[in-house]
Structures are given as structure tokens and as C-alpha cells.
Structure 1
Amino acid sequence: MKFLVGYNGSEVSRAALSLARTYADLFGAEVLVVTSMVGGASEKPDKIGKAAEDLKFAENFFKEKNIPCETHQLARGMAPGEDMVRFAEENDVDQIFVGIEKKSRTQKIILGSNAQYIILKAPCPVVSVNSP
């Protein structure tokens, strides 16, 4: 069984990470932790470094419980929601865990919602986590 967690170091994505660890421990699942870099190849070095640090935290978080974990820093130039759905399809993921950050209506209209995209387009069940 394979779980996918969208992780960007935020508080809500840490909540998704924690829930995924609990489920992975219960079901004996492998966990794939993904950070999607919106800027693709033109992403700034400091953002790439922060994402790498965040993924190292996630990897250690799962190792504490001896849960198999792979981390992936994607820079394919897609919106994070689209990137996660495509990654899930490419890797035969069984379940996705994603944090939902609150946005104003204007932000949703202009930026869209990555979580909404994932929930509607994912090839598998999606567990959404709100801000703790």
C-alpha cells in the first residue's frame, strides 16, 4: 500500500504528515512525501534549499516509527494540485493526504485551490486535513 502526502513545511501540511504517519503505521503502508516547486527550473535557490530541509524533516519524522518513506522535490512547472495528481497516477498511489489552508474568496477565484483540484481529480481517495 502506498500513501502520498503533499508537504510544504506549513502547519497544516505537518498535520497531514502526522495523520499519514498514523495511517501508515496502522496499515503497513509506504509513504511518498512530495513538495511541488511551482517555478519549475527557474525556482530560486533559497526556496529549493528550504524545500529540501522540509523534506528531510518529513523523512526523519517517518523514520522515527520505522515507516518506509521516500521524499520527492518536484520542479515540473505545474500547479501543485496538478503535480500531485500526476505524481499519484505515475506511482500507483492508494491514498493521498493533503492539508487545506484557508483562503479568502478572492484568493480562491484568482489562485484556485490545489486541495480542491486534488480532491476532484485524484485517481484514489483523498484525506484532507484542516488547520489544527
Structure 2
Amino acid sequence: MEHIVVGYVPSPEGVAAVDYAIKVARRGESRLVIVNSGVRGSDAHPAFASASEWDALAEQLRELGIEHEMRQPSSAQSPADEILAAAAAVDADMIVIGLRRRSPVGKLFLGSSSQQVILEAECPVVAVKRPE
């Protein structure tokens, strides 16, 4: 496995996705491409990682010796479009996304971004739940 794209949001689900991708990357010496964007590029959206969160994640990957690229587009499309575009650009072998718990009604739908990534990705997608 050469390239793993990770959809990251600053949440327990986002951290779980990164942790899973790190484990896979260490086994196969893969390169991680971390993608974070707010909805429609809004850096005020809670999904958009702050500079300190983003820098801390980059430092963690450096300390672990994980080859990586950080993408945080300021004029982003939807988060799903950004993840899919990154996967296409690097010819990703896998995409990793985090999933949050849903209500019974919410379980009928994964969430628009998650659902779009799973349905449109050209490579396998791993959906990681946060640890209990």
C-alpha cells in the first residue's frame, strides 16, 4: 500500500481515523495524505482544524516517522469532494474516514460526506468508529 488518504476533523472520530491510518501506514510504510476542510471552505466551521490542532497533528506524524502530506484547502469544495479529489490526485490505495454515532433515524443515512465518499471512491474506504 502506497498512499492512504485520511479525512480528518478535529473530533474523537477524526482522531480515530488518523490513528487507524497510522497503524496501517507503519505496517506497509505507506504515505498519509491528511485532508481537512470546513464546509464550503469555511474556516469558521467546527470541522476545520485550528492552526494549533493542525500543527500538532503534523508534529505527531513527524515524530512517528510517518511520511505525510497535509492538505487544508481554504477555498474547499465539500469535505467529501476534497477527500475524493486528494485520493484521485495521489492514486490512493485506501481512504480512511471517521464515523460518529447516529440516532436510529440517522442510521438510515451515514451522513452526506461519509456516504458520498463511500459511494464515489475509486479505492477501498475504511470507516472507523471512535473508541468507546
What is the TM-score with the length of structure 1 in the denominator?
0.82
**1:21 matched to which residue of 2?**
22
Report if aligned partners of 1:96, 1:125 keep a CA contact under 8 Å in 2. Answer: yes
Query: What is the number of equivalent residue pairs in this alignment?
Result: 129
Aligned amino acid, residue 6 of structure 1: G
Kindly indicate which of the two structures has a greater share of residues assigned to helix.
Answer: 1
Percent identity between the two aligned chains:
29
Unaligned runs of 5+ in 1: none
Deviations, residues 73-112 of structure 1 (Å, cap 9, x unaligned): 0233422112211221122111111100123436977x94
Q: Please give the residue correspondences for 1:94-105 in structure 2 after superposition, counting only pairs within 5 Å.
A: 94-104=93-103, 105=105
1:102–1:113 Cα change, 3 Å: farther
Measure the CA separation in 1 of the matches of 2:46 and 2:99: 24
Report if aligned partners of 2:38, 2:44 keep a CA contact under 8 Å in 1. Answer: no
1:33–1:103 Cα change, 3 Å: same
What is the TM-score with the length of structure 2 in the denominator?
0.82
Report if aligned partners of 1:37, 1:76 keep a CA contact under 8 Å in 2. Answer: no
Q: What value does the CA root-mean-square deviation take over the aligned residues?
A: 2.6
Unaligned runs of 5+ in 2: none
**Runs of 4+ with >4 A deviation:** 45-48, 106-109
